[in-house]
Amino acid sequence: MQTYPPSYAQASDERLLKHVAQQDAVAYEVFYDRHTKAVYSLILRIVRQPTRAEELLQETFWQVWRSATTYRGEGAALAWLMRIARNRALDELRRQKARPQATEYVADGMTEAVQVARAANQQAPLEDAVEQAVTLRWNQQEVRRALAAIPAEQRLCLELNYFEGLTQREIAEQLELPIGTIKSRMRIGMEKLEYQLRRIGFP
């Protein structure tokens, strides 16, 4: 892992952005390393395509490098960054004019599912593990398909809460939205998710 001088490593996001605005490459690298995983996760939750999410991640931080001077200290630097990432991702959805699909998740999921199934019962024959994996993978695919049918803004709130473990208040802070909006989106999103799952036979 990259080691940075304490003056950079211990600096706040806001101070780092001030240095980035002056084209300080070290400050930029620290800021990038500090937040790249969170930004990628947010983008991936929206576009659902790992390859495109990686491209949008780079575009987001390139915009940070070029536009750091526009950050005036109003609000947290992380919220400013996440807003850029969210807008990039939502622009991509509008450009595609279609809801995202989960095909790239499914491609390598079978091996993972077999490992999960075998881990649950180390003595199970391979055939049993594969049968369990097929069922597990089918359920995961169906849930992802049901989620994909939900509007992106509602789906994002659900996934950040249930899969990333963020509280509603943390989601509101990350997306820079009122907590009432987050609660409303989650409630409506859950109703739509339940409807979609019932349509495909889930209890």
49-94 tens-digit pLDDT: 888 899 999 999 999 999 999 988 777 788 888 888 888 888 887 7
pLDDT tier, 160 (very low <50, low <70, confident <90, very high otherwise): confident
Average confidence (pLDDT) over 28-55: 88
135-159 tens-digit pLDDT: 555 666 677 778 778 888 888 888 7
117 and 129 in contact (C-beta within 8 Å)? yes
Tell me the domains of the chain and their CATH numbers: 6-96 (1.10.1740.10), 103-199 (1.10.10.10)
Distance, in Å, from the CA atom of 84 to the CA atom of 95, rounded to the nearest integer, reads: 16
Q: What is the reported pTM?
A: 0.54
Average confidence (pLDDT) over 44-50: 84
Using the predicted structure, report yes or no on whether residue 100 has a pLDDT greater than 60. no
SS (H, E, C) the chain: CCCCCHHHHCCCHHHHHHHHHCCCHHHHHHHHHHHHHHHHHHHHHHHCCHHHHHHHHHHHHHHHHHHHHHCCCCCCHHHHHHHHHHHHHHHHHHHHCCCCCCHHHHCCHHHHHHHHHHHHCCCCCHHHHHHHHHHHHHHHHHHHHHHHCCCHHHHHHHHHHHCCCCCHHHHHHHHCCCHHHHHHHHHHHHHHHHHHHHHCCCC
Average confidence (pLDDT) over 16-44: 90
The pLDDT value recorded for residue 133 is: 53
